[in-house]
Each structure stands twice: as structure tokens, then as C-alpha cells.
Structure 1
Amino acid sequence: MSTTRAAATAPERWTPAEIAGLLQALEPLAGPDAPACAVSVHDRRVELALDPAAGPVTHHGLVHVGRLVGAVENALRSSGWAPRTVVAGDARTRPLVTITGTRRRPATPMDLARRRVERRPGDGASPRYAAPADMSRVVDVAHASGSRGAWLHLLNGPTRDGVPAWRTPGTTPSHTLALELPWSRDPVLAVCTHDDGVRESVVAGVVVERATIEAALRGLRTDVHVAAFDDPAVRAAALADAEHDTGFGHAALRLHP
């Protein structure tokens, strides 16, 4: 991930400390396996784009951009800015996403809490509980994370008798989406949208990041699985067992203590 900064001319602009905080918020999502993405800071605006030199645009690359967007929005809110995000409809557009700090707004206690629990690889910062994920916490994560036409669907949800399928004895859903997961032990949610386009893939990434933070607030860790959804058939099958929802899946999230 490459970053650039441009000289600011606006009368009210982000301070060096705020810019450093924004870039620091992206660090947990960087790494040798992350899709190549360029991040630029101009005045009170962050621009993100996939690196065209990295090859064809992939679905997991678009979701990764969305996760970066979610991290930037979270950092802006915690530092007292209201973010406005615009996503292009063409993956080749540069910038693909623009996030602007539109106005000052007081950070809420939840804004600050979300910033504190942001994922840091290997540092053990997220709170942990010995108990398995219960239905109430899973429902809370799903309700708190949906945004902009994307939502979380519980793939191994309650059976006909109302018992969650990840509880003993547990059942494996008929559509496992080519994922080797402990379906009968931990809840697995799919991030879904009604359509399957560039904007929807980016928005799904935003929801992935939101869900990761909301789960951490409730003492749960999140394993994110995106690569399998590069296959359009897998995306189309995510809601095959749903009674009421229709649409496409973009990622699967396994919640666990």
C-alpha cells in the first residue's frame, strides 16, 4: 500500500496528528498479501485506488478497498469529523473512493470505543471471553454493522426449533460456499448486497470492517474469508438457503471467542 500527501490550502484542514492517525488506522490492513492500493491525502480528503500495475481488478481487491474505507471512516469519527464517502462505479476510476471530512462533530463514546478496539495483529488488544458466541451477541453484531444497502446474513442460523445451528449437536448448511469452517461450532455470517457490482463490493468491505469492530466490542474475534467469493458462482450461492433475502455474498465472517 503506497501513500502520498499533498499540501493543504483549505482554511480548515487536518492537522499532522490527524493525518498520522488516519494512516495508522490503515496499518492493520496492510501487508505482503494485501491487494496493492494507493492512498492519498489532500486537504481534508482521502483518496483510494487499486494499483493498475498489479493486474486485473479482483473482487477481493474491491472488498479490501472497502475495508480501508471503513478504517478511515472510523478514525475520522473518533477524531471529531463527519465523513462523506463517494464510491465510483468503475473499478478503473482513479480515485476509486473519496472520503471527505465534511464538518466538525463531537466524537461519541461509541466512536472512541470503536477506535480503541481496532484490530492489531498479534497484540492481544481485543477483549476475549471464555464463553462461545451466543445468539444475542451475534444478532447485535449483525444489527450494528449493516450499512448502505449491505447486511449480514447468518449462514448457520437457527434451526426449525429455534436452536442456533452452531450449538451441539449442530448442523452444517447445505451451501458451505467452498469454505472449510467449523460450521457446527461457531456462527458464520455472509456480507450481502442486492446487486453484484463494483460499488456493492466496496460497500461490502466497509461492512466487513464494521463487523470486525462491532464483534471486538462484544468480546468476539472475527476470521474474514473473501478469496472464495472471487468466483461469481459462490457469490450467487450465499443466499441460496435464505427464506426471504435475495442477493449476493461478498465475504464470510466466522465469529469466535
Structure 2
Amino acid sequence: MDLGIKNKTALITGGSRGLGLASAISLAKEGVNLVICARSKEDLLNAEKTLQQYGVNVTSLVQELSDEKSVTEFYNKVKSNDSQIDILVNNVGGSLGTSSLVKSKLKDFQKVMDINTWVAISLSKIFVEDMISNGWGRIINIASIYGREHGGSAPYMAAKAALIAATKHTAIDLAKTGVTANCIAPGSIKHEKGSWEKFVDNNTEEVVEKFIDQNLPMGKFGYPEAVGDTVAFLASKNSEMILGTCLNVDGGQSNSLF
């Protein structure tokens, strides 16, 4: 299937590993040029080598995204490279070790909201203007199944729920512009340096097997490539009629009906 996005340019935050790198690889296979960012220069260089094997242009930028100032800095870096962004994948996120409302400090609650919701909204607002002018664009936000049902920490759950809601509203606002906005809600995806790899490494085999048996219908953790391929489809010309949706990529893990 021709996804019709060859020679488009995608910006992927947190693109050096995990779901971000998997998304970049899936897009690169479709001939999409890439701008990726991450905090680690070493991880970025490794990702760049991997992605260049697909014959696309790859720009990697060291940038931590956590607040309005960092978003502005990043935008200026992207623009200085003369990159026209057609596809925006907001992948940066995390729970930052928070837990319940009672146990989490308010400043940590705010940090989780900032990195998971505010950064994605800020980048979308900045880059969507050019997409509208061009009459085409794709915004893809990486949410979580815990943005739709109970799970994870209170700040993380609230942040991902807010991201899903903002994406829905944005999609309707943009419906006549040629720009789409959608979410992907991954379940427990295991990848190098990820939280579920740490869970496996830090627990006994019995604990891990019990978790899988009780929570993962497929009998195994998810894998990043499944998320990456979903990103590529939502970025494609074939996804034009998909607006404001949130697609679970969770192997049946989620209990939510909607």
C-alpha cells in the first residue's frame, strides 16, 4: 500500500529510542524525511545512523522539552534548519516517578502535565499554522490507555486524558483545512531503556509472569513497531477521514469501551 507521504517531513519528539524511534523508522520506510529530538546526543547519533539506512534526510537536535521556553528554543532550531514540518509526532512524555494525588507534590504534578500535555499543545499550535497554509498536515499525539481509564499515576492519567481531549477539539477545528489530529494510546510496550523493561529487570520472573497473566491478553508485552506502523498510517493520505480519534495499540489490555 502506498501511503502517499514520500518526501514529506516529519518532526518526532523523543525520537531517539522507543516509540519515537519506531515511529521514525516506519515513516522513513515510506520515504519521509525526519527531524528528531532527544536529550541525549549519543542516543540521537545512534538513531541517526539507523534512520539514514533508509535513504532519507535526517536532522537530529539535542533538546529537552519541558516548558514554554524550551519549546520556543526548539522551534527556532527547527526553523534555522529550513525544515518545513508536514507531520508532527508528539511523543515526549512520562510519569516522572509520580503516584497518587495525595503523595505527589504539586510542582511534580505540574511537571507531568507540562511534559505530557503542554509541550504537545505548544508544538501543535506553533507548527499547525504552516500546515494550514499548505492545506495539508498531520498531528499525531502519543497518549496512553491510562488517559481513558484508571491506571498509572494521577498526574500521568490526568495529563494523557487532557491530551486526548485537546486532540479531539483540535481535530474538529481543523476539519476543513486538510490537517488532521489524532491520538495513539499504547498499552504496556516494552523497549530498551523503557519503563516496562525496567519493570522486568527489577522484578522476579514470578512477578512479571503474574502481571502478564493478569493484564496482557496476548500473553506478552507490546512492541514499539506496532505503534510506529500506526503512526505511519495516521500520517498517510489514506487516513484523511480519521479525525480526533484515539487508537489503542495495546493487545487488548485496555478495559475501556471508548
TM-score by length of 1: 0.27
More strand by share: 1
More helix by share: 2
| Pair member with larger Rg | 1
